[in-house]
């Protein structure tokens, strides 16, 4: 057994069973090991951002890390943006980055670069294996680090000689830690704040699991408090039967307004909220000055248990879930973002996983889908666009029996469109609902906010995608995914239903 | 005038006139400044790797930096791989990375990350502007740094408040440094080594300009020495009328063989060569043990002047250029890499810029094109694949009157295929000759070298692109580029000629 086999064997033994890979020469021993060690599924991405985004989606749906297998600094660099999103989502991910043989590093060969410097900004744990024998134990420690509450990105740099040299066997199994129990004082303080009236509970991280959403609903039922979700949840359960919860708005002035007048802000897995961007004359914090912040549970704690403890202490009744609501009689005529949101809300099936990178086109869908069949939403946690399609690939591999809908903006989708090929190769049940508004619309909104309602030619050119128009049906076909174009709401809903009824991936270009 | 306008104005005044951009909210003041300051062409890329690769191609062809305009850490990260290639090519490039307003950094908003840690591995110079007033002088220093011989990647981090706040005006012009003159002792030592017979001159960096190639040819004519190019030249002039020069081979055993028996290795802009990758039992250095290395000129010195000084000292006559050679009567039948290389060599026109990321498919072309009409070759300097299509975009913007041929492998091409859209939008004269062998063929070669001639299913899956096959004509159409598929050599040559005869971009999928 060589170091590479030890790494793969140790990973499989620790319950890691998928490897999203785009290997090169320095990873060949690991590629060969994937054939020698049973139990690891290898999934090729045509670009590393596909691999890392898929690992993020997979980790969000399973709670377990996938491996990514990446090629030195430049290959890893291509995966950084989606690891940034995974870091913000606190998704467990283990990167394995091949590097030159240790004795070849000083030669400064063309592909040599400072991998650690690239890896640290997105990793909670980075280690370069010093020997073949260390490779197994390093990946075990990486898996431990990735699964340490609240979850994180861990990175092992695997020199090629450590991969090819012989070792005694796989490493000892990693030890997993449970999230810390709720803090009794925090529970009491939260109960007191809620009893006093006027508090807002901000729900995030593990609190967005079904039990957390239900417990938050009990707080509303018991005290009349308000509950808001963090703006970009990593993963949240919602739909008919679950308490309806609004999101904290995106723009800071709207978010501040949502929190204005709160007697206290209770943080249940969420962080004290800050503006996504700073604006002239603006500020970072969104919580009103002087408003007490009650930290019920940090993301690394057992948020659900903390919410349930508060609800119990308040003797709160069961929550009332959102009523099932079916949207009938969709408007016809040319699609716009509102009609598209209606079409999706009307067509989405029970158990769907909706990966929401629809940006401005998706804003209306949240409220419209409150009473839609039960579904899971994965959102763009770190703002690094190009996350939706890869994340959908990973979610579909994690949950082969659930329909995955990638609700996808066009500008962001073009970043990592190679994901479509992996969806085709693996025949994943992913329906891409591509919002073709042919613009970076959010930037056009930002230009208006910056006082340029009539941008000049450079600003128009740098925020517009209409010249030439992307033909998404052709792009999908190029990667082996069947597609169709829709131009009104009933056609969009029908296309979604058709796509979901057929196994394998589909793309629907919704012209807005 | 605000900081953003000062940055753009200072750049334009310093001769920087193209900005390859994919901006976001934190770059909006700079986007608005691009409309207020005349003289800077804005070119949108649908992905940052397109922008940085285009800046590399532009800088190689003009010797001047373009700006890239990128969105915080994650947007920059998407451009790192091609900046790695630019760093290895020593191309002048100036990155401008927008970041949060300085007062918003501590809030750790979702898009916050350690940009410096990401930028340093690919930058010879990194600075975060401390104020609006500093923005202009920082970009001036970045331009200086990028143009400091031998050329490099310089990075300015531009906080949003520094962009929007008022300043007194643009900054003082940067001061440019000329490459250091040839070292007289090195010239004498080189002349002595060449007179002694049996030496090999390794040509690289600035030595690959037309005058350098001619001077190297004089050394051959005068002393019978051998001249070899570094394996992956940033930019080299060649073709009929110029001395024919072979490249140092890629695989280390072949490269060592090429240098075996040399009485001395003269480094003329090239570095002492090392293996691209380390292999078990192998070594890093390629120069034979005990063989004297004569450093004639480092890449930051005036390599051409050094070569000419040696030739003059040797009283070497003018070199004999390669004879013009036209390939007639191409073989028919299904294409293979050899026939495709013949087709390209027969069809390439006078003055072509050939961007060579054809990987294994392109190996035969070098020798076949020695007598082709004069052309420039840009190659993959840093091994970070996905360089060819963006580099072709940048070269075409730099040289609108020259035909650009992107000789492109399929696996690498899929990395940054969004480049096709920029080629369509800007109506660039780029002909993409896409080598569709439906494999990462080099990795299949490496698997065989690693002792696995019959790879298992995982290794096959991770190195094969045939399931499903990419339809490159559909992909091109999706991005607005007309395409056609060819399956034999005469059809390939005819398609290249047709594509070059029509303005604007074209893609030819050569099925291998």
Nearest CA distance, A4 vs chain B (angstrom): 13
Lowest mean pLDDT among A214-228, B227-241, B450-464: B450-464
In a domain, B350, yes or no: yes
In a domain, B176, yes or no: no
Q: Are both A157 and A208 inside the same structural domain? A: no
Q: Is A445 exposed, middle or buried (0-12, 13-18, 19+ CB in 10 A)?
A: middle
Contacts of A462 in chain B (CB under 8 A): 21, 23, 31, 34, 42, 44
Q: Is B315 exposed, middle or buried (0-12, 13-18, 19+ CB in 10 A)?
A: exposed
Q: Are both B62 and B128 inside the same structural domain? A: yes
Domain that holds residue A385: 337-511
Q: Are both A37 and A145 inside the same structural domain? A: yes
Sorted by sequence, the CB contacts under 8 Å of residue B98 that are 6+ apart come out as: B23, B24, B26, B27, B30, B69, B70, B71, B72, B158, B159, B160, B163
CB A337 within 8 A of CB A512: yes
**Among all residues of chain B, which has the CA nearest to that of A285?**
B107
The minimal CB distance from A474 to the residues B424, B443, B477 is found for B477
Percent of chain B with pLDDT over 70: 100
Q: Are both A114 and A19 inside the same structural domain? A: yes
Q: Which of B455, B166, B435, B184 is nearest to B297 (CA)?
A: B184
Give the helix ranges, DSSP H, for A23-65: 28-36, 48-62
Per the structure block, which two tokens stand in for B115?
């940009």
In a domain, A116, yes or no: yes
The pLDDT confidence band at residue B423, using thresholds 50, 70 and 90, is: very high
In a domain, A331, yes or no: no
Q: Are both B483 and B383 inside the same structural domain? A: yes
- Residue B202 is inside which H or E element, if any? strand B199-203
Contact A462 B42 (CB under 8 A): yes
What pLDDT shows up at residue A103?
98
Contacts of B279 in chain A (CB under 8 A): 101
CB B42 within 8 A of CB B34: yes
Contact A418 B418 (CB under 8 A): no
In a domain, A322, yes or no: no
Nearest CA distance, B329 vs chain A (angstrom): 33
- Strand bridging mode A506-511 / B93-99: unpaired
Contact A109 B275 (CB under 8 A): yes
CB B161 within 8 A of CB B132: yes
Distance CA A293, CA A242 (A): 26
Q: CA torsion, points B3, B4, B10, B14, in degrees to nearest 10?
A: 150
Say which CATH number the domain at A406 has. 3.40.50.970
What pLDDT shows up at residue B491?
97
Query: Tell me: the pLDDT tens digits for A10-48?
Result: 999 999 999 999 999 999 999 999 999 999 999 999 999
Q: Are both A15 and A157 inside the same structural domain? A: yes
Q: Tell me if residue A423 falls in helix, strand or coil.
A: helix
**pLDDT 10s per residue in chain A (512 long)?**
999 999 999 999 999 999 999 999 999 999 999 999 999 999 999 999 999 999 999 999 999 999 999 999 999 999 999 999 999 999 999 999 999 999 999 999 999 999 999 999 999 999 999 999 999 999 999 999 999 999 999 999 999 999 999 999 999 999 999 999 999 999 999 999 999 999 999 999 999 999 999 999 999 999 999 999 999 999 999 999 999 999 999 999 999 999 999 999 999 999 999 999 999 999 999 999 999 999 999 999 999 999 999 999 999 999 989 999 989 899 999 999 999 999 999 999 999 999 999 999 999 999 999 999 999 999 999 999 999 999 999 999 999 999 999 999 999 999 999 999 999 999 999 999 999 999 999 999 999 988 777 899 999 999 999 999 999 999 999 999 999 999 999 999 999 999 999 999 999 999 99
Nearest CA distance, B200 vs chain A (angstrom): 21
Contacts of A256 in chain B (CB under 8 A): none
Q: Are both B274 and B366 inside the same structural domain? A: no
Helix axes A303-313, A184-196, angle to 10 degrees: 50
In a domain, B174, yes or no: no
- Strand bridging mode B483-486 / B404-409: unpaired
**Domains contained in chain B, number:** 3
Distance CA B452, CA A30 (A): 12
Contact A117 B122 (CB under 8 A): no
Contact B84 A74 (CB under 8 A): yes
Q: Are both A63 and A128 inside the same structural domain? A: yes
**Among all residues of chain A, which has the CA nearest to that of B118?**
A118
What pLDDT shows up at residue B505?
98
Taking residue B307's Cβ as centre, other Cβ atoms within 10 Å add up to 33
Secondary structure (DSSP) of B440-460: -HHHHHHHHHTT-SS--HHHH
What pLDDT shows up at residue B453?
74
Contacts of B106 in chain A (CB under 8 A): 284
What pLDDT shows up at residue A454?
85
Contact B278 A49 (CB under 8 A): no
In a domain, B178, yes or no: no
Contacts of B466 in chain A (CB under 8 A): none
Per the structure block, which two tokens stand in for A393?
């690939």
Q: Are both B368 and B418 inside the same structural domain? A: yes
Q: Which of B211, B182, B176, B147 is nearest to B302 (CA)?
A: B182
Q: Where in B17-129 does DSSP place strands (E)?
A: 18-21, 41-44, 67-71, 93-99, 125-128
In a domain, B169, yes or no: no
Identify the domain boundary among A134, A164, A194.
Answer: A164
Query: Tell me: the pLDDT tens digits for B379-399?
Result: 999 999 999 999 999 999 999
Q: Which of B207, B111, B29, B106 is nearest to A387 (CA)?
A: B111
Contact B447 A276 (CB under 8 A): no
Contact B103 A280 (CB under 8 A): no
Query: Tell me: the pLDDT tens digits for B100-125?
Result: 999 999 999 999 999 999 999 999 99
How many CB pairs (< 8 A) connect A and B?
Answer: 310
Contact A34 B459 (CB under 8 A): yes
The minimal CB distance from A114 to the residues B121, B415, B465 is found for B121
- Residue B233 is inside which H or E element, if any? none
Contacts of B95 in chain A (CB under 8 A): none
**Among all residues of chain B, which has the CA nearest to that of A480?**
B468
What pLDDT shows up at residue B189?
98
Q: Which of B241, B179, B246 is nearest to B214 (CA)?
A: B241
The pLDDT confidence band at residue B347, using thresholds 50, 70 and 90, is: very high
Query: Tell me: the pLDDT tens digits for B238-290?
Result: 999 999 999 999 999 999 999 999 999 999 999 999 999 999 999 999 999 99
Query: Tell me: the pLDDT tens digits for B155-206?
Result: 999 999 999 999 999 999 999 999 999 999 999 999 999 999 999 999 999 9
The pLDDT confidence band at residue B326, using thresholds 50, 70 and 90, is: confident
Say which CATH number the domain at A298 has. 3.40.50.1220
Query: Tell me: the pLDDT tens digits for A260-280?
Result: 999 999 999 999 999 999 999
CB B390 within 8 A of CB B50: yes
Q: Are both B412 and B287 inside the same structural domain? A: no
Contacts of A465 in chain B (CB under 8 A): 46
- How many Cα atoms sit within 13 Å of B494 on the Cβ side? 11
Q: Are both A13 and A82 inside the same structural domain? A: yes
Contact B47 A425 (CB under 8 A): no
- How many Cα atoms sit within 13 Å of A377 on the Cβ side? 31
Q: Are both B128 and B232 inside the same structural domain? A: no
The pLDDT confidence band at residue B40, using thresholds 50, 70 and 90, is: very high
Contacts of A28 in chain B (CB under 8 A): 443, 446-447, 450
The pLDDT confidence band at residue B16, using thresholds 50, 70 and 90, is: very high
The pLDDT mean for chain B works out to: 97
Contact B80 A78 (CB under 8 A): yes
């Amino acid at each position: 057994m060589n170091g590479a086999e030890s790494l793969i064997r140790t990973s499989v033994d620790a319950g890691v069973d998928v490897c999203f890979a785009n290997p090169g020469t320095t990873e060949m021993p690991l590629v060969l090991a994937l054939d020698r060690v049973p139990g690891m599924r290898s999934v090729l991405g045509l670009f590393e951002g596909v691999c890392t985004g898929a690992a993020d989606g997979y980790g969000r749906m399973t709670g377990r890390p996938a491996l990514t297998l990446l090629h030195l600094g430049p290959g890893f660099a291509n995966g950084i943006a989606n690891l940034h999103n995974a870091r913000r989502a606190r998704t467990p991910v283990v990167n394995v980055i091949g590097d030159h043989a240790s004795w070849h590093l000083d030669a400064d060969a063309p592909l040599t670069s400072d991998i650690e410097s690239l890896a640290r900004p997105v990793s909670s744990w980075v280690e370069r294996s010093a020997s073949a024998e260390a490779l197994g134990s390093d990946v075990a420690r990486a898996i431990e680090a990735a699964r340490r509450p609240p979850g994180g990105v861990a990175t092992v740099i695997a020199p090629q000689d450590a991969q090819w040299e012989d070792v005694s066997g796989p490493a000892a199994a990693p030890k997993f830690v449970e999230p810390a129990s709720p803090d009794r004082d925090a529970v009491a303080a939260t109960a007191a704040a809620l009893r006093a009236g006027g508090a807002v509970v901000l729900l995030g991280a593990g609190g967005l699991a079904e039990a957390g959403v239900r417990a938050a609903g009990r707080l509303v039922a018991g005290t009349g408090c308000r509950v808001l979700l963090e703006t970009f949840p990593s993963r949240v359960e919602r739909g008919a039967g679950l308490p309806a919860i609004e999101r904290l708005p995106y723009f800071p002035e709207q978010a501040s307004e949502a929190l204005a007048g709160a007697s206290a802000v209770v943080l249940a897995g969420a962080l004290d909220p800050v503006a996504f961007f700073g604006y002239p004359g603006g500020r970072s914090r969104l919580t009103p000055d002087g408003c007490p912040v009650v930290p019920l549970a940090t993301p690394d704690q057992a948020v659900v248990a903390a919410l349930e403890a508060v609800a119990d202490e308040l003797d709160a009744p069961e929550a009332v879930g959102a009523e099932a609501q079916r949207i009938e009689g969709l408007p016809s005529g040319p699609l716009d973002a509102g009609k598209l949101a209606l079409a999706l809300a009307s067509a989405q099936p029970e158990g769907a996983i909706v990966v929401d990178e629809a940006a401005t086109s998706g804003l209306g869908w949240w409220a419209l889908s409150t009473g839609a069949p039960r579904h899971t939403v994965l959102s763009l946690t770190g703002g690094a666009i190009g996350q939706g399609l890869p994340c959908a690939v990973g979610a579909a591999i994690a949950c082969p029996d659930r329909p995955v809908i990638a609700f996808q903006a066009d500008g962001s989708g073009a970043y990592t469109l190679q994901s479509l090929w992996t969806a085709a190769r693996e025949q994943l049940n992913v329906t891409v609902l591509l919002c073709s508004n042919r613009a970076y619309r959010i930037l056009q909104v930002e230009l208006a906010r910056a006082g340029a309602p009539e941008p000049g030619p450079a600003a128009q050119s740098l925020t517009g995608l209409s010249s030439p128009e992307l033909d998404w049906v052709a792009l999908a076909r190029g990667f082996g995914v069947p597609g169709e174009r829709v131009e009104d709401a009933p056609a969009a809903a029908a296309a979604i239903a058709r796509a979901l009824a057929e196994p394998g991936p589909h793309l629907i270009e919704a012209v807005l």
